[in-house]
Chain A
Amino acid sequence: MFKKLVSTLLAGAMVLSLVACGSSEGAGQTATTESNDTAVAQTAEADGDYTQITYAFVTFNTVPDDTSEVEEALNQITRDKIGVEVHLMPLSIADYTQQVSLAVQNGEIDIFHTLGDLGNSIASDMCYDITDMIDVDAPETKALFEEEWLKTTMQDGRLYAIPTLKPFALQPMLIYRKDIAEELGLDLSSVKSAEDLTPIFAQVKEAHPELTPLAPVSQGDSGLTRWIPSIDWLGDSFASPTGVLQGTDMTVTSYYDLADFEKYAGIVRDWYKNDYIMKDAATTTSAAAELMSSGGYFAYSASYSYPLEDTAASLSAPSGYEVGAIALGDAYLDTSSMNAVAQVIASTSENPDAALKFLNLTYTDADVINTMLYGIEGRDYVKNDDGTVSYPEGQDAATVPYTAQLSCGVLGNFFIQWPLIGSGSAESLAWEDEQNHNAPTSPAMGFTFDASNVQTQYTAVSNVIQQYLPGIACGSVDTESALAEFRQALKDAGYDDILAEKQTQLDAWLQAQ
């Protein structure tokens, strides 16, 4: 019912917007004014011959009512530097994908970014081919990237996006409550991987039977898919993997046939039987931070791209307790860690060169990127002597007129952003930069998988995965029988076609290297 509603609405809205070209169709207020502004500026060139572009991005903060002052502050820089005026279109995460797809369809926006869906965006023609433009419009940005990194946003040798420059290397960690660990004198330094956790959990359970040692990160995600080392996901999300590479072996292998998968599934199953993991982990709708702050859980396992101490420090407030972090393995870089969030010029943009020039500034000009993030100095933020940023006296992220601080990992260049006070020390930044360049990297780094030939199979297979993976990953079903059933169901859904297609494309890619 809902699906049909959405699809008919979508189709309807598209038709309507074709008929009523240029009228304000946008659902959000920002979207409406923005599209009108663009239309006016493009036809009348009222703003003195500056090229107008619109930038749609996700804000995890409150969506601001009025972006005009921030735009003016940006334009004072961009008019002189590149002769461009920019309109900002911050959107909430819930609306983003849908609003962007409509806006691209209508030619209302010039720049947007992907959220793990680059392959799909390229396949449906949403991305402008910027291969020949980047050397002219954004050479400084290009120089920031290693050559291999930009291959992650290419398809068939053409460049369609620029990855957001940020700490890429995600490391699997255990986030645990320090008070319990100290009280019981737990030896967490002995923990090198997830199997070492069993005795720790046993100690916690024995001393505190009312505590459940492990909470899921989110529904059906015990952390298991992060613990298996050296995985190149070949374009899949870690929540729904299919064929992967492990280590240096260039044979595409089913994720669920890996010996490590079976091993960890068995371990989690034992945890489930011993009440070491939340019983409803496969179906709960609560996320880790919420569960931790309820006081009923000892730890959870997720991946972060910041140093252990920084991660623990920033997670203490949302978890409600002081937490510590230990690594459960090493970070590993593959194509998807680079291209998950990448900046795209819309295929329907009328001013792709101007848009790319502006993107270039978000990677290279600290004033531009920080104005986008923090807004107006004095009104939205104040700058401290040590280069960090605070909110004005008596204000916070929720009360200032404009802030997009939580989009720091989404926009432009993370390494030239001013850190919020209490985070991002110089040592941390150096560590993160070091990780980006030196963390172990998949031999297939730069390979992108084009799923358009097996899209039918993907839909069917992803349904099967959602059916079995959460239960197995959280130990709530018998590992052996569920795995056998799971593998058969995958086969029936056309799984082997996907693996074969991946291998074919990978072999072709290897040949070309």
Chain B
Amino acid sequence: MSENKSKPIKVKTKYAKSGPLLLIAAPGILYLLINNYIPMFGIFLAFKNFSYKKGIWKSPWNGFQNFKFLFHTKDAIIMTRNTILYNLAFIVIGTIFAITIAILLNALGDSIRTKFFQSSLLLPNLMSWVIIAYMVYAFLNSDSGFINNTILEALGKEDVAWYMERGYWPFILTIVYLWKNAGYMSIIYLAAIAGIDKSVYEAASLDGATKMQQIFRITLPLLKPTVIIMTLMAVGRIFFSDFGLFYQVPMNSGALYATTQTIDTYVYRGLMELNDVGMSAAAGLFQSVLGFIIVVTANAVVRKVDSDNALF
């Protein structure tokens, strides 16, 4: 009797507890549904020859025809290579920079200096790529750019046509990427470091550990879970590139495509001309499927090696 009675109360209290939380989450869930799930119906457009008259439901199917353009030239290899290598470089170098910044900022302690450095490191992240593209342009343009007219002139070197020489761009893009993003990424690591128990450091310094030893023996090992999660999330997007970085910053210069072309920019350029709904859906699907496979694989590897830190 008493048990029967207590059950509904239990359910009630459960709802009473989680109800407000669900309410808070509702806008987020709604947003996810509208923004991420409903458009998924569009996926099958990738397999259709879209006709305006017939609409999306009645347009005829055309198998894998829409995917063909992605693999039609050796551009496919170049853009896939660029996308993956840039992302790998960004993940590795970006993480190293972010952790270094976080450790340095943490070492400064709570002071106005820290706030100042933190804010100024964060500032580039708030700028749009278009603005950054013109800042880069101010450095690199051939006629009046800072580098050609000041630095190279002072060194007595020949002018460089930066927007025509593809060899420099892997470095330029990496520098620009780090300048914009490293400060922002460091915040997460800074928070993780702040969460480390201070008594561990006290004990270590009592035992005579130097600052360096503390960093390598305590901070870095304890940051491992954060690094793994951040890397896994970045790996899942390894087939996507930051469109602004690869399209705006090189000023869409054709001569640079060999080192600046990524899947996103290729698709954008190709489809701006043809305005084909089916092909753009196909490209989006291709990227997503590959990204999905990679994130599942990476997670499986992490689970094998260190099951506590796997995402799922």
Contact = CB atoms under 8 A, between A and B. Distances in A.
A12 B65 CA distance: 22
Interface residues of A, number: 55
Contacts of B57: 18
Contact of A468 (B74, B254, B268, B280): B254
A455 B42 contact: no
Interface in A446-467: 455-460, 462-464, 466-467
Contacts of A467: 254-255, 257
A97 B276 CA distance: 12
A429 B59 CA distance: 46
Interface string A463-492: 110111111000011000000000000001
Interface stretch (A1-9, A181-189, A501-509): A1-9
Interface stretch (B48-56, B108-116, B172-180, B297-305): B48-56
Interface string B281-301: 101100100000000000000
A18 B56 contact: yes
A8 B281 CA distance: 8
B75 A124 contact: no
Interface in A4-58: 4, 6-12, 14-16, 18
A348 B53 CA distance: 6
B253 A283 contact: yes
- Where chain A touches its partner, the secondary structure class is helix
Contacts of B283: 3-4, 7
A279 interface: yes
Given A104-B52, A347-B53, A476-B161, A1 B269 contact: no
A368 interface: no
A282 B253 contact: yes
Given A105-B52, A460-B75, A471 B164 contact: yes
Nearest to A5: B243
A18 B58 CA distance: 13
Contacts, number: 168
A421 to B, nearest CB: 38
Interface string A208-247: 0000000000011000000000000000000010000000
A121 to B, nearest CB: 8
A347 B53 CA distance: 6
B211 to A, nearest CB: 40
B279 interface: yes
B284 A2 contact: no
B263 to A, nearest CB: 9
B273 A458 contact: yes
B163 A15 contact: no
Question: Which 4 pairs across A and B sit closest by C-beta, in order of nearness?
Answer: A11-B42, A12-B39, A125-B53, A459-B270
